[in-house]
Amino acid sequence: MSILEQSKLKILSDNKIQLEYKVPIFIAAQNSLQIIDCIKIKVKYFKLAKSKSSIYHLIPFKDRFIQILSQKLKIKKGNIIFQKKSGIESKEEYKISGMYCGIILDNKNWTREYKISKILKNE
């Protein structure tokens, strides 16, 4: 099942919509990615008012969201990478460009500390 099939659509205005869906959080470890968690995010999209196309484009996250995520995970903002899908997806009659498909935490020290804490907690 794709991310878009699991998402909830909310119409904000004639030119804006909001999708709510879950994305996995990955850690970069030994040339591979491991899923450590999934979070639910709300992402807004806009349609160009003067454009004839009906494609809704991604509105990037505000810095405040990234800061909260950084504090929650205790990792620097620069080590958080948002992975996006390219291409156009369809949800109901809406065409959506640029969906997030994952969050990558790329910091070797943080990954090492995370794994050690998991071992100590026996998870």
pLDDT tens digit sequence for 17-44: 999 999 999 998 778 888 999 999 999 9
- Which DSSP symbol is given to 104? E
Please write the tens of the pLDDT for every residue from 50-108.
777 789 999 999 999 999 999 998 999 999 999 998 888 888 888 999 899 999 998 88
| Cα 35 from chain centre | 13
The shares of helix, strand and coil residues in the chain, as percent rounded to the nearest 5, are 25, 50, 25
Residue 103: per-residue pLDDT: 94
* pTM listed for this prediction: 0.83
